[in-house]
Amino acid sequence: MFYASGDFEPTADAPAQDRTPLRAKVDLDGLPTDAKMLVADVSTLEDPRTYRGIAPTTGGGDVHVLLWPNVLEDRPACALSADLGVRVDGGLGMVGDNTVLFAGGRSADGSNVPRTYAADLTRGRALQLPIGLASRRLHPTVTRFGAGGLVAGGADPESSIPLGTAEVYADGDFLESRIELGVERAEHAAVVLASGETLLVGGRGRAGSLRSLEAIDPKTKRIRSSVGTMDYPRRNPVAVRLVSGQVLVTGGQDDANQAVPDIEIFERDGSRLPGRRPTRFLATRTRSVVPMSGGGALAVLDADDPDRVNVWRISADGVADPVGKVPIPKNESFSLFRGNDDQAILFAGGIWYRFDPWAPAKGFAPVAAPPRGGPQAGSLPLDTPDLGLVAWVDDQAKLRALRFSTRSPFERVPRPLLTTGLDGFAPDRAPQTGSFALDGTRGLVLGDGETATLTVYDFSDFTLTFQGAPTVVLRAPDGREAQIGASECLFAFGDSSTLVRRGNDVQVQSGAGRTQCSLPFGADTRLSVAFRGNGAARSAVTNVVLSRN
């Protein structure tokens, strides 16, 4: 079966699906021509197991869909037939829309420098680049850089001296010219800002651990040093971009090789937040952090102390709340993936776990009918834009993956929402006793500032109806928000309200009246929808219906 989705509502007469025999190339004449995303669900008579894939359409022409095994079946992950060049200390990351780049490092015995490989996640191909990196690099960072990629910093394999250059991957290989960094750095972190710039964070310089940050613009290929500085120098920090567009930094080691536990938050452009001080956190040997679609981040810490809480929810303000414990064998590696619906996926101790953002007391629970095996020691988790795909490169340089979901941001939204459950929404913090209460009559009751975000989906023009009087938050991909019913668009919602977005305008209507506001985004900006408590006694929401127009 093939399912199409886009900025339209499927109907009984036009269900936006097509059943066709499996071939290498099929014509899908029964699908809408304005589809934005295609989902494939495939099985055969000889092999009844299901394989699923999802890919954006191109507005005409061929669509390449790579099928991966459905995770809810007892079988191992699939791997690409070709490896990506066996190595240690390499850099791995997504570049462009669907390309995985594995660069730098050295062979296990140190006898040679591996070539650079690129893997296409739409066709399942892994190819060695004809030219590859100009400089040998250990532990470089690999990030998206415009339509290509950026391999930055790292250390020289022979001298271990940090490197002060970055190389740009474009059109299938690296450009001849290199970018001079503001400072040599290795053992650093890198994160792509909302602007598209790559922010390099901390690391090791020639004189020791670094506090500095620098941003690299993919359009000008120039360094921007007008960014923040960390309170603490850090080697091997963890840095993630939050849904707000801000950057969270935690972990790493100082020059004495002591763990740096504190959390620091930086603005969307990498600058310091005025008056913001680091937040205390636990010192651990290793940690993994993923951003949450509802807001903030989720952190899993190593289990050197079996009695210590090792699952934490970090708010957008950098405040860490304990969630619970998940068993991680001492001195064993673990892999954390974002997952859809803020249901992060963890592999630890040979067990697959899934996180429930609404039930912090449970935290991670074992996955029902889990796949066999998972990332082992020496594997590198891969952060893909397809949140339903869990992928990693193992110690033999094989790219392996499992599909947990084929949810598309263009799908039809189930309706109504927030009547008998919380499906589809995610909180912006760890729910505490009395917060985010689900009332049988009023729906989701929100305390002042508490925010519940509809995950996965985003919208162009849409119509939203609901009952209750929360603040409606419209969020752009860069993290900027417009609060309807608050400062950006004052309005008193009644018992039943309708909000209509058309381009850059929003019209709101309820029994209390009608108003129209302009949004601070471009007319074509896709938006996600959230509800926020505004301190009012009736700050609740139920019977939510969203339709695309």
At residue 341, the 3 state secondary structure works out as helix
**What confidence score (pLDDT) does residue 463 get?**
98
At residue 342, the 3 state secondary structure works out as helix
**If pLDDT is split at 50, 70 and 90, which confidence band does 164 have?**
very high
**What confidence score (pLDDT) does residue 213 get?**
98
Residue 66 has pLDDT above 80, yes or no: yes
Look at residues 65, 93, 109 and tell me which one is the last residue of a structural domain.
65
CA distance 228 to 270: 6
**What confidence score (pLDDT) does residue 319 get?**
92
**Pick from 370, 399, 404: nearest CA to 79:** 399
**If pLDDT is split at 50, 70 and 90, which confidence band does 22 have?**
low
Give the global pTM.
0.94
What six digits make up the tokens of 98? 């669907």
The residue ranges of DSSP E strands in 440-533, in sequence order, are 443-445, 451-454, 462-468, 471-475, 481-484, 496-502, 505-510, 513-518, 528-532
- Measured from the Cβ of residue 354, the count of other Cβ atoms closer than 10 Å reads 18
Share of the chain above pLDDT 70, in %: 97
**Pick from 230, 285, 231, 229: nearest CA to 258:** 285
The residue ranges of DSSP E strands in 171-282, in sequence order, are 173-180, 189-192, 198-201, 204-205, 208-216, 223-224, 229-234, 238-241, 247-250, 264-266
Query: Whole domain around residue 461: which residue ranges?
Result: 425-548
Overall average pLDDT of the 174-194 stretch = 97
**If pLDDT is split at 50, 70 and 90, which confidence band does 536 have?**
low
CA 331, 374, 79, 390 dihedral sign is negative
**If pLDDT is split at 50, 70 and 90, which confidence band does 39 have?**
very high
Residue 275 has pLDDT above 90, yes or no: no
CATH number at residue 522: 2.60.120
Domain assignment of residue 22, yes or no: yes
pLDDT in tens, 75-130: 788 999 999 999 999 999 999 889 999 999 999 887 788 999 999 999 999 999 99
**What confidence score (pLDDT) does residue 61 get?**
78
Q: Which long-range contacts (CB under 8 A, 24 or more apart) does 134-137 make?
A: 134/167, 134/174, 134/176, 134/178, 135/163, 135/165, 135/167, 135/178, 136/104, 136/106, 137/91, 137/103, 137/104, 137/105, 137/163
Contacts of residue 27, Cβ cutoff 8 Å, sequence gap at least 6: 20
CA distance 145 to 169: 8
Q: Among 161-165, 288-292, 361-365, 435-439, whose mean pLDDT is lowest?
A: 361-365
Tell me the CA distances in angstroms from 401 to 53, 375, 381, 391, 404, one per residue in order.
12, 10, 10, 4, 10
Q: Give the range with max mean pLDDT: 6-15, 138-147, 352-361.
A: 138-147
pLDDT in tens, 302-331: 877 778 889 999 999 999 999 989 999 888
Domain assignment of residue 57, yes or no: yes
**What confidence score (pLDDT) does residue 24 get?**
62
Domain assignment of residue 11, yes or no: yes
Q: Please tell me what DSSP assigns to residue 138.
A: B
Q: Please tell me what DSSP assigns to residue 396.
A: T
Q: Please tell me what DSSP assigns to residue 15.
A: -
Domain assignment of residue 72, yes or no: no
CA distance 222 to 95: 19
Domain assignment of residue 49, yes or no: yes
Count of domains observed in the chain: 2
Domain assignment of residue 494, yes or no: yes
**What confidence score (pLDDT) does residue 59 get?**
67
Q: Is 29 left (phi over 0), alpha (psi -120 to 50) or beta?
A: alpha
At residue 340, the 3 state secondary structure works out as helix
Quote the Cα angle for 252-182-142, to 5°. Answer: 55
Domain assignment of residue 481, yes or no: yes
Q: Among 42-46, 121-125, 208-212, 421-425, whose mean pLDDT is lowest?
A: 42-46
Contacts of residue 330, Cβ cutoff 8 Å, sequence gap at least 6: 303, 304, 306
Look at residues 22, 38, 65 and tell me which one is the last residue of a structural domain.
65
**If pLDDT is split at 50, 70 and 90, which confidence band does 197 have?**
very high
498, amino acid identity: T
**What confidence score (pLDDT) does residue 371 get?**
84
**What confidence score (pLDDT) does residue 538 get?**
63
Residue 23 has pLDDT above 70, yes or no: no
Domain assignment of residue 2, yes or no: yes
